[in-house]
């Protein structure tokens, strides 16, 4: 199987991300399926930044532990990544900053000759990579003109000089696949929300969810949506609730620290039965933690956030295609059941770039919300057979639409009556059971790898890519719930049939999914992850 991995490294501010995206497009045009990983420090400039672009004949969602090409913009790149080199790794470097490189390109002289700004030095190395990899100049020309049309001629002039300064030393094979769209997980989430009928998106920028805000802000006129950047996270969720109360499908994006400030608003949504979609893209905590690094430590937080008891939907897609589909599903289910719905992502998924076959993603059947028929007196919290109350919105004739964060009766009037308190608590919980029954029609658990293996990996979210590859190599099964709440007990039991050993793979120290599965009787825990963590780390 054809495979290639390319690492581009330098310091923050050198345009490493743009260079990585161009390499990805070159491989895409050769028929490779792409996964691209960014890593950068929490700095505006300086520090070490790198990108790994992996191309394969088949869909992928992880990087390998070695690289075939290195594009080094500074000496630090060579030192930091030497454990990823093999005897065949081709190193292409800025010859002005990296001494003794096998293939050094005189970037400074090229820029001077073309009267180009320093940021275009990346183009010289991209051109050098293309020649070293045996990529025809026509492909380079087409990629530059399509993806950076502004300034394409000057960039191409710089790239051509880099191209001509190197010989072909490690030719890569063209694949039979057709090029696909390359999208980040954040872009896929945004597109999925739009397919679900998004009217308004609100967010206070917080890595790694910020890309959704940027993407939707750029495309708001194209899709006819409202995009708002409020002054803080509390304003974000309150404004989102206001939009939803008015009948507009709203969503918000944040990470763990921002979500901490939103929990009272979340409980408001639970009590007032206001549909809302929350994208929580995880990073390493606690507190500020590692702002630009991935983690999966917020499952239990999202599962139990907000005072009181109310149902919620939590989904954790594993790649861009699932992010697209399940963001649409989350919007539809939130409005069908009038619950808060979470899309639980992480930095790896949000900022990773994937090949996305838009036709394979399909168009999902959606069910609209239950609406008031205008024939009966309107009760915002009317008890029904499904426990989901018909919706009306402000401005509707003959309807007073009263929502309330206090305990209320069917019409939305505050009360402290004991009987009504019990009645409304049961309504919320029974509505959760209605949602559980609805979720049986969705494929909430994915089984892959060696399906009859007696040892299985249990994983969730962006660990999909690495777990599936490891499972095929080691002869393991993979069981991966996408729906985490309501927990898909029956579906997981079915996919675990015949499993004698279950290995949880999570990016947290306490095995949060394993604990959740254990609470539902999925397996007998042989070891307390927290105790093991203490043993390992003192």
> 207: domain CATH number?
3.40.50.970
CA distance linking residue 155 with residue 513, whole number of Å: 48
Judge whether 316 lies within some domain. yes
Sign, CA dihedral 301-484-348-234, equals negative
Q: What is the pLDDT of residue 538?
A: 39
CATH code for the domain of 37: 3.40.920.10
CA distance linking residue 265 with residue 252, whole number of Å: 12
Q: What is the pLDDT of residue 536?
A: 40
**Does residue 379 sit in the same domain as residue 520?**
no
Judge whether 174 lies within some domain. no
Q: What is the pLDDT of residue 13?
A: 80
Asked whether the beta carbons of 189 and 327 are under 8 A apart, the reply is yes
Q: What single DSSP character describes residue 126?
A: H
Give the chain's radius of gyration (CA, Å): 26
CA distance linking residue 21 with residue 13, whole number of Å: 15
Three-state secondary-structure class, residue 18: helix
Q: What is the pLDDT of residue 1?
A: 67
Domain-ending residue, one of 164, 194, 223: 164
Judge whether 328 lies within some domain. yes
Q: What is the pLDDT of residue 367?
A: 76
Whole-angstrom CA distances from 402 to 336, 384, 405 are 19, 18, 10
Phi, psi (rounded to 5 degrees) for 69:
-135, 145
Asked whether the beta carbons of 95 and 64 are under 8 A apart, the reply is no
- Residue ranges making up the domain that contains 60: 3-164
Q: What is the domain count for the chain?
A: 4
CA distance linking residue 228 with residue 207, whole number of Å: 17
Strands ordered across the beta sheet of 226-228: 226-228, 200-203, 250-254, 276-282, 340-346, 313-315, 483-485
Count of C-beta atoms within a 10 Å radius of residue 399: 18
301 membership: H or E segment, kind and range: helix 299-304
54 membership: H or E segment, kind and range: strand 46-56
Q: What is the pLDDT of residue 359?
A: 77
**Does residue 260 sit in the same domain as residue 331?**
yes
Domain-ending residue, one of 361, 392, 417: 361
- Note the Cα 380 to chain centre separation in Å: 35
Judge whether 179 lies within some domain. no
Question: Residue 350: which of 504, 276, 461, 509 has the closest Cα?
Answer: 461
CA distance linking residue 87 with residue 109, whole number of Å: 30
Q: In degrees, to the nearest 5, what angle opens at C-alpha 35 toward C-alphas 34 and 39?
A: 140
Residues of the chain with pLDDT under 50: 532-538
Domain-ending residue, one of 442, 465, 490: 442
**Does residue 189 sit in the same domain as residue 211?**
yes
CA distance linking residue 39 with residue 245, whole number of Å: 39
Q: Each residue of 408-440: pLDDT tens digit?
A: 999 999 999 999 999 999 999 999 999 999 999
- Note the Cα 193 to chain centre separation in Å: 13
**Does residue 316 sit in the same domain as residue 375?**
no
Q: Which residue is it, tokens 């070490």? A: 48
Global pTM reads: 0.94
**Does residue 211 sit in the same domain as residue 69?**
no
Judge whether 120 lies within some domain. yes
Q: What is the pLDDT of residue 530?
A: 53
Three-state secondary-structure class, residue 501: strand
The CA-based dihedral angle spanning residues 142, 147, 149, 153, taken in that order and rounded to the nearest 10 degrees: -50
Q: What single DSSP character describes residue 276?
A: E
Asked whether the beta carbons of 182 and 24 are under 8 A apart, the reply is yes
**Does residue 350 sit in the same domain as residue 402?**
no
């Amino acid at each position: 199987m054809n495979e290639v991995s390319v690492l581009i490294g330098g310091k923050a501010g050198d345009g490493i991300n743009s260079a990585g995206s161009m390499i990805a497009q070159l491989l895409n045009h050769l028929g490779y399926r792409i996964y691209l990983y960014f890593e950068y420090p929490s700095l505006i400039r300086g520090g070490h930044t790198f990108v790994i672009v992996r191309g394969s004949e088949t869909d992928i969602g992880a990087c390998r532990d070695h690289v075939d090409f290195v594009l080094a913009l500074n000496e630090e790149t060579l030192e930091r990544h030497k454990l990823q080199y093999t005897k065949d790794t081709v190193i292409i470097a800025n010859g002005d900053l990296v001494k003794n490189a096998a293939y050094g390109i005189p970037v400074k002289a090229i820029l001077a000759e073309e009267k180009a700004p320093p940021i275009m030095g990346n183009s010289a190395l991209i051109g050098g990579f293309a020649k070293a990899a045996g990529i025809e100049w026509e492909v380079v020309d087409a990629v530059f003109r399509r993806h950076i049309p502004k300034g394409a001629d000057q960039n191409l002039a710089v790239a051509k000089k880099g191209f001509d300064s190197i010989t072909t030393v490690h030719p890569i094979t063209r694949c039979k696949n057709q090029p696909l769209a390359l999208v980040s997980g954040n872009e896929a989430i945004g597109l999925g929300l739009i397919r679900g009928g998004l009217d308004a998106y609100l967010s206070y920028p917080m890595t790694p969810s910020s890309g959704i805000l940027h993407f939707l802000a750029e495309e708001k006129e194209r899709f006819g949506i409202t995009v708002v950047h409020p002054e803080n996270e509390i304003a974000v969720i309150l404004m989102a609730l206001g939009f939803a109360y008015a009948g507009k499908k709203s969503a918000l994006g944040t990470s763990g620290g921002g979500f901490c400030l939103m929990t009272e608003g979340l409980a408001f949504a639970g009590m007032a039965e206001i549909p809302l979609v929350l994208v929580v893209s995880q990073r390493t905590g606690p507190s500020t933690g590692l702002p630009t690094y991935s983690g999966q430590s917020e499952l239990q937080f999202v599962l139990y956030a907000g005072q009181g008891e109310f149902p919620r939907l939590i989904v954790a897609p594993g790649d861009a295609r699932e992010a697209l589909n399940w963001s649409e599903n989350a919007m539809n289910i939130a409005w069908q059941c009038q619950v808060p719905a979470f899309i639980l992502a992480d930095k790896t998924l949000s900022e990773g770039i994937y090949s996305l076959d838009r036709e394979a993603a399909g168009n999902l059947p959606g069910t609209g919300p239950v609406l008031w028929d205008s024939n009966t007196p309107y009760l915002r919290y009317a008890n029904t057979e499904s426990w989901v109350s018909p919706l009306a919105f402000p401005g509707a004739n003959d309807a007073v639409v009263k929502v309330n964060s206090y305990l209320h009766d069917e019409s939305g009037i505050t009360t402290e009556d004991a009987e009504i308190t019990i009645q409304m608590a049961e309504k919320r919980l029974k509505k959760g059971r209605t949602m559980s029954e609805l979720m049986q029609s969705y494929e909430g658990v994915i089984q892959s790898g060696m399906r009859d293996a007696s040892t299985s990996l249990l994983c969730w979210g962006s660990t999909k890519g690495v777990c599936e590859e490891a499972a095929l190599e080691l002869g393991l099964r993979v069981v991966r719930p996408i729906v985490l709440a309501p927990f898909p007990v029956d579906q997981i039991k079915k996919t675990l049939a015949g499993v004698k050993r279950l290995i949880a793979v999570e990016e947290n120290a306490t095995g949060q999914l394993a604990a959740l599965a254990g609470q539902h009787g999925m397996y007998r825990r042989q070891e307390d992850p927290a105790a093991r963590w203490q043993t390992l780390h003192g």
